[in-house]
A and B are shown apart, each in its own frame.
Chain A
């Protein structure tokens, strides 16, 4: 377990690459009422791996857009206006691309690294696990 904890503290990526780490971070974000940021981050990764020829991919893009971008969700509120416009434009023209959520994901990731992740490493949830 010690190795786990050292790895989780190394970077957000190493935390999220580990099943137990991602689960514990999710529990923490649920309590902080911003679990959507993590779900969005994973949804972007999942979307990037999808086949653009599959009709399902457009439906998933629409679902991500509706759930996280076009409302006042915790994700939408943290994204730059230009980033939201870009995604909205892609959706309007139905021009789906594997990288269409990359900028939005990068913005959310930076915010998670600077805020939620730092808070997590000093939280009782993490320290109790230690």
Chain B
């Protein structure tokens, strides 16, 4: 099971802009 911090980080990263 992912830790809370990992889940949060994953959530934040999913919304970050990607390299064009």
Taking Cβ atoms with an 8 Å cutoff, the residues of A that contact B are 16-19, 21-22, 39, 42-47, 49-50, 56, 59-60, 62-64, 66-67
Contacts and interface: CB of A to CB of B under 8 A. Distances in A.
Contacts, number: 48
Interface of B: 4-5, 7-8, 10-20
B16 to A, nearest CB: 6
B12 A43 contact: yes
A18 B14 contact: no
Query: Interface centre among B10, B12, B18, B19, by most A CB within 10 Å?
Result: B12
A43 B8 contact: yes
Closest 9 CB pairs of A and B: A45-B15, A46-B15, A46-B11, A42-B15, A46-B14, A63-B8, A63-B4, A19-B17, A42-B12
